[in-house]
Amino acid sequence: MALRFLILAFAILAMASSVAHASDPSQLQDFCVAINDSKAAVFVNGKICKNPMEVNADDFLFQGLNKPGNLSNPLGSAVTAVNVNNLEGLNTLGISLARIDFAPYGLNPPHTHPRATEVLTVLEGTLYVGFVLSNPAPGMKNKLFTKTLYPGDVFVFPEGLIHFQFNIGHSNAIAFAGLSSQNPGVITIANAVFGSDPPINPDVLTKAFQVENKVIEYLQSQFWYNNNNN
């Protein structure tokens, strides 16, 4: 019996380890500074590595997060992302960062990060934030978790779940977010559904949203703004 429990314990530990590393893999060396070369002959799950002998301190430096994003857009928000695409030293390290600026009543609209959990902290302003659970039980709706955040508050958005941030204050707001991937990705829901190229067949969306065709055609005709500065 004791041997069975020991084997089971090792199996659970192995599964837990597998889940914990289900996103970005751990690095097998001190660093792997990325080479941003679209014509590179080698493709890997991430970026190919720069010759370590050619790496310098600038490969690990990004400057500019002290500067606010441009808020003169329909959403009144701007995301300044720091990921492997603009900081090559992040390659294989499984982490990235973003600054999010909000005008009064500015919105970072419902979106997901398919490869990362996000932890957000507010520096200035008041944000109403939330995320929606997946896979509701039969007969139930997707549960919404929301909170009003003030300077110094921290909130977590689990990997892959739809979430948002909305400035409910009368002044600008600033938040910083850490993400558990070197390249978390972002899918803004409205943009992806109604602004895809080519457009999704309106018959699909009419049935999915249970509205008239003219509503879908109107939504697909709109300009869907991207507030992410990568």
Residue 49: inside a domain, yes or no? no
Q: Rounded to a whole number, what is the distance in angstroms from the first to the last CA of the chain?
A: 55
Q: What is the CATH number of the domain that holds 75?
A: 2.60.120.10
Domain interval for residue 147: 59-186
| Gyration radius from the chain CA atoms | 21
- pLDDT interval class at 133 (50, 70, 90): very high
Work out the angle at residue 129's Cα, subtended by the Cα atoms of residues 126 and 85, and round it to the nearest 5 degrees.
Answer: 100
Whether residue 164 lies inside any domain: the answer is yes
Number of domains observed in the structure of the chain: 1
Q: Is residue 160 part of a domain?
A: yes
Write out the two tokens for 72. Answer: 């003169």
Residue 18 lies in a domain: no
118 in a structural domain: yes
Is 64 a domain residue? yes
- pLDDT for res 38: 65
pTM: 0.84
The rounded distance, in Å, linking the Cα atoms of 52 and 174 is 36
Choose among 177, 211, 191: nearest CA to 110. Answer: 191
Query: Is 53 domain-assigned?
Result: no
- Specify the pairing of strand 107-112 against strand 118-124: unpaired
Distance CA 163, CA 117 (A): 11
Mean per-residue pLDDT, 79-98: 94
Is residue 21 pLDDT above 60, yes or no? no
149 backbone dihedrals φ, ψ, rounded to 5°: -110, 145
Q: Is residue 202 part of a domain?
A: no
Contact yes or no for 173/167 (Cβ under 8 A): yes
